[in-house]
């Protein structure tokens, strides 16, 4: 997440990933099983996503989303101290990613709210 969000922040149009990561593979059987298992949840999520509030997912909005993803990724190791807080951060990252892919600013806004709630929960737990 740090690598991709960082590249978004510096304005790269294509992403660079290390060769060792690009060479990773999954067997066809495992991929087929995962795709079959994810069909129903993916359809449900697809029905919720549509282009709206596009200013949050285009131009400067993309940089805002990338910045939050970068900061969440930096904070996740610290969140492991507070039970389930990393789950909220992971959910926010997933929502940010879906918002950029579907150009759905509402999901980006909901992810921002979830991020704020997660951060405030962690702060409360640690204080």
pLDDT tens-place string over residues 22-77: 999 999 999 999 999 999 999 999 999 999 999 999 989 999 999 999 999 999 98
Place of tokens 């909220």: 88
CA–CA gap between residue 120 and residue 85 (Å, rounded): 10
State the pTM of this model: 0.87
Can you read off the two tokens belonging to residue 84? 């389930």
Vertex 44, ends 38 and 46: CA angle to 5°? 95
- Confidence check: pLDDT of 126 > 90: no
CA–CA gap between residue 29 and residue 63 (Å, rounded): 37
pLDDT, tens digit (0-9, with 9 covering 90-100), for 85-101: 899 999 999 999 999 99
């Amino acid at each position: 997440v740090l690598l991709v969000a960082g590249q978004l922040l510096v304005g790269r149009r294509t992403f660079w990933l290390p060769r060792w990561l690009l060479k990773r593979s999954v067997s066809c059987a495992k991929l087929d099983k995962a795709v079959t298992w994810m069909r129903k949840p993916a359809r449900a999520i697809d029905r919720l996503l549509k282009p709206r509030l596009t200013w949050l997912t285009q131009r400067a909005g993309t940089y805002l989303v990338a910045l939050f993803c970068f900061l969440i990724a930096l904070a996740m190791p610290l969140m492991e101290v507070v039970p389930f807080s990393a789950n909220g951060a992971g959910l926010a990252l997933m929502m940010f990613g879906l918002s950029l892919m579907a150009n759905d600013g509402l999901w980006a806004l909901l992810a921002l709210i979830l991020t704020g709630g997660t951060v405030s929960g962690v702060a409360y737990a640690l204080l």
